[in-house]
Amino acid sequence: MNIEEKLAIAVVGGLKTMYGQDVSVRQVQLQKTKKEFEGHLTLVVFPFLRMSKKGPEQTAQEIGEYLEKNESLVASFNVIKGFLNLTVSSAAWIDLLNGINQDEQYGMVAATDKSPLVMIEYSSPNTNKPLHLGHVRNNLLGNSLANIVMANGNKVIKTNIVNDRGIHICKSMLAWLKYGNGETPESSGKKGDHLVGDYYVAFDKHYKAEVAELMAKGMTKEEAEAASPLMNEAREMLVKWEAGDPEVRALWAKMNQWVYKGFDETYRKMGVSFDKIYYESNTYLEGKEKVMEGLEKGFFYKKEDGSVWADLTPEGLDHKLLLRADGTSVYMTQDIGTAKLRFADYPINKMIYVVGNEQNYHFQVLSILLDKLGFEWGKSLVHFSYGMVELPEGKMKSREGTVVDADDLIEEMINTARETSNDLGKLDGLTPEEADNIARIVGLGALKYFILKVDARKNMTFNPKESIDFNGNTGPFIQYTYARIQSVLRKAAESGILIPTQLPSGVELSTKEEGLIQMVADFAAVVKQAGEDYSPSVIANYIYDLVKEYNQFYHDFSILHEKEEKVKIIRLALSKNVAKVVQLGMGLLGIEVPDRM
C-alpha cells in the first residue's frame, strides 16, 4: 500500500470519528502539493464541508490536527484556504524507499493466465521500397506500446501485416525486368530492400518521361497517363499475378525475399520484433470470402455493376466500397481478411492498430464492419493514431527517391553520437569495441527518445543534431545520468559499502531527498497512466523530470563523502533506485542505458 492509500484510509477514519460520517476512499482527493507551498500531499476538503458544517479553513484545520495526532505518516500540516497541505514524515519516505528497493521490477505488473490478450499491429511496410523515417516512428511507437501494455499486466502479441501485392509491387518488378540486367543484392552489394526500391524509383522516372513525350505529341496529361505503355504493362502484370501466372509469381517471390531479408536487418538495428507476420497476399482472399458471407446475411448490398458495398448511413457515415465491380479487393477487404486469420490464430481480447492519422476514417469504418461480422473485439478496437514525422528540410516522397531511409538515418545517428561523444571525452579510455557499442547505444537512444517524447498524435520534426545533446530533454542526457549513477555505485562497492536489503531508520531526510523518493514512487502510477492513455511520451517525460531532479540532488548533496554512515546508505539506495527506474522506464521505450560513458 502506498502513502496516498494509507493517508486516504486515515482521512476516512478521521471523518467517521469527528463527524460520524461514512465516506468511501474514492471520495478522498489527494494530489501532489504545489511547489510554492510547504508539504508533500494536499487534501481537498470542500467535499466534506456538509459533514463538518463549518468553513473550509476550519474543516481543514480539524482534519489536519486529527491526522497529526493519529497518523504516524503525517509529520506536520498547514492550511491554505480549502486545501490541507500534509508533510509526510522522513520515516514514511524511508519505508517507501525500502519497499521500492526490494522490488527489482518496481512499477511492472506481471501477466497471469487470466490476463487479457492484446494484439498490437505495427510497421505494415510495402515490399516495393525500404523502410523510411515514417516507418521509424511507427515501429518505435508500436514496440514501445507493446512493452507498456505488457507492463500493465496484459499478454501481448506483436504483429505485422506486410503489403506484398498490388500495382506498386508490379512497378518494381517490371522495372527490374526491363532495366535490371539480372542485378541481385549479392552482385550489387546492396541490401535487398534498397535494390528493389531503386527499381520503384526507376519505374517512376521512365513513366514520367513517357507521359512527357506523349504530351509533346499533343495529348492531354490524362490521355498520356492512360496511354503510357509502361503503366499498361504494369497493370497487365498485376492481372497475371492475380491469375497465378507461374513466371510472374516466381519473380514476385524472389524479389520479395530480397526485401524481407533487408527489412529483418533494419528491424534488428532498430531493436523491434514481431511474434507473427501476416501477408496481404494471403489475407485479401480471406477478406473477399468474409465480405461475401456478410452479403448473404444482408449486412452488405450489391450494385448493378457487381460491386459490393456497406451502407453506413445509420452510423452517421457514408456508403463504403468493399469489392470492386471486377471482384478485386480494396484495403478494407484485406483488413477484414487479416482480422479473420488473426482471430482464428489467437483468442484476442483487444486489437490495437498503430497507423498514421490519415487513416482515422478507415479504422472508424473497420470497427463497425468487424462488429457487424461478429468479431468480439471489433467495436472496441483501438486505432493508435499518430502524426507525420518530417526532417527540418520538409516532406518526403518515395516515388522520387527523396525519402529519408531508415538505415541511412540509423547510421547517421550512430556516427553523430560517436563524434559528439568523442568531442566531449566520453569515449576516453574505452576499447574500440566498447566505443562502438556506446556510439550505437547513444545514437539509437537519441533517435528513439526524440521521437517517443513527443505526443504521438502530433506532427513532429525530427532534428538529428538536436537529439544528440548531452544537456536538455534528450536520450543521451538521460543515458549519461544513468552511467554517472553506475559509476557512484561501483566506487561504493569498491570501498566495501553495500546497500542492505533493510535500509537504516532514524535518518532525517532533506526536502530534496523526500521529493526524489516521491518521484521514484510515482513510476508505478506513470506506467499505469501510459497504459491507459496508450502514451509512451508520458514515460519519456517522466524519466526526464526524474533525471533532472536527481542531477540537482547530485550537485547539492555529497554521497560517497557523506560523514554519517546511515545518511550515506540512504543516498546510495536512493541513487540506485533512481537508476533502476530509469533503466525500467527507458526499457519500456526500447532504449538501452550504458553502464559506462
What is the pLDDT, as a whole number, of residue 81?
Answer: 87
- Give residue 236's pLDDT band: very low, low, confident or very high (50, 70, 90): very high
Q: Are 515 and 424 in contact (CB under 8 A)?
A: no
CA–CA distance from 590 to each of 390, 434, 547, 580 (Å)? Answer: 21, 20, 18, 15
What is the pLDDT, as a whole number, of residue 425?
Answer: 87
**Within a domain: residue 354?**
no
**Within a domain: residue 105?**
no
Say what the alpha-carbon torsion angle 368, 374, 375, 377 is, to the nearest 10 degrees.
60
pLDDT at 376 over 90: no
- Give residue 391's pLDDT band: very low, low, confident or very high (50, 70, 90): confident
Work out the average pLDDT over 321-342: 89
Q: Are 319 and 350 in contact (CB under 8 A)?
A: no
What is the pLDDT, as a whole number, of residue 398?
Answer: 42
pLDDT at 400 over 60: no
Q: Map 525-562 to HEC letters.
A: HHHHHHHHHCCHHHHHHHHHHHHHHHHHHHHHCCCCCC
Work out the average pLDDT over 271-288: 93
Share of the chain above pLDDT 70, in %: 98
What is the pLDDT, as a whole number, of residue 590?
Answer: 98
| CA atoms of 154 and 147, how far apart (whole Å) | 10
Say what the alpha-carbon torsion angle 19, 21, 23, 27 is, to the nearest 10 degrees.
-40
pLDDT at 396 over 60: no
The alpha-helical segments, DSSP class H, found in 297-405 are: 331-345, 360-372
What pairs with residue 394 in β-bridges?
A: 391
Rounded to the nearest angstrom, the gap between the alpha carbon of residue 282 and the centroid of all alpha carbons in its chain is 28
**Cβ-proximal residues to 237 (8 Å cutoff; 6+ apart), any chain:** 170, 173, 174, 248
Question: What does the block give as the cell for 505?
Answer: 531508520
- Give residue 285's pLDDT band: very low, low, confident or very high (50, 70, 90): confident
Q: Are 587 and 105 in contact (CB under 8 A)?
A: no
**Within a domain: residue 69?**
yes
Work out the average pLDDT over 153-161: 98
| CA atoms of 57 and 563, how far apart (whole Å) | 43
Mean pLDDT across the chain? 93
- Give residue 394's pLDDT band: very low, low, confident or very high (50, 70, 90): low
- Give residue 244's pLDDT band: very low, low, confident or very high (50, 70, 90): very high
| CA atoms of 189 and 184, how far apart (whole Å) | 8
**Within a domain: residue 306?**
no
In which domain, by residue range, is 47 found?
3-88
**Within a domain: residue 402?**
no
479-489 tens-digit pLDDT: 999 999 999 99
Give the helix/strand (H/E) hosting 382: strand 382-386
pLDDT at 348 over 60: yes
Q: Are 166 and 284 in contact (CB under 8 A)?
A: no
| CA atoms of 342 and 390, how far apart (whole Å) | 33
- Looking up residue 461, the CATH number of its domain turns out to be 1.10.730.10
513-526 tens-digit pLDDT: 999 999 999 999 99
Work out the average pLDDT over 143-151: 98
Work out the average pLDDT over 50-65: 94
**Within a domain: residue 24?**
yes
Question: What does the block give as the cell for 573?
Answer: 539506495
Domain boundary among 62, 88, 114: 88
What is the pLDDT, as a whole number, of residue 387?
Answer: 93
Total of domains in the chain: 2
**Within a domain: residue 581?**
yes
Of 144-148, 178-182, 400-404, the range with the lowest mean pLDDT is 400-404
Share of the chain above pLDDT 90, in %: 84
Domain boundary among 69, 88, 107: 88
Among residues 597, 323, 279, 249, which one has the least CA distance to residue 442? 597
81-92 tens-digit pLDDT: 889 999 999 999
555-588 tens-digit pLDDT: 999 999 999 999 999 999 999 999 999 999 999 9
What is the pLDDT, as a whole number, of residue 397?
Answer: 47
What is the pLDDT, as a whole number, of residue 399?
Answer: 47
Among residues 39, 50, 44, which one has the least CA distance to residue 27? 44
Work out the average pLDDT over 394-417: 73
DSSP 429-494: T--HHHHHHHHHHHHHHHHHHHHHTS-TTS-EE--HHHHS-SSSSSHHHHHHHHHHHHHHHHHHHH
Domain boundary among 88, 109, 126: 88
**Within a domain: residue 454?**
yes
Among residues 484, 499, 511, 504, which one has the least CA distance to residue 597? 484
Sign of CA dihedral 245, 250, 255, 256: positive
What is the pLDDT, as a whole number, of residue 402?
Answer: 55
- Looking up residue 20, the CATH number of its domain turns out to be 3.30.1360.70
**Cβ-proximal residues to 128 (8 Å cutoff; 6+ apart), any chain:** 168, 169, 171, 172, 196, 197, 200, 259
Q: Are 299 and 373 in contact (CB under 8 A)?
A: yes
Of 17-26, 137-146, 382-391, 422-431, the range with the lowest mean pLDDT is 422-431
pLDDT at 241 over 80: yes
pTM for the structure as a whole: 0.91
Amino acid at 292: M
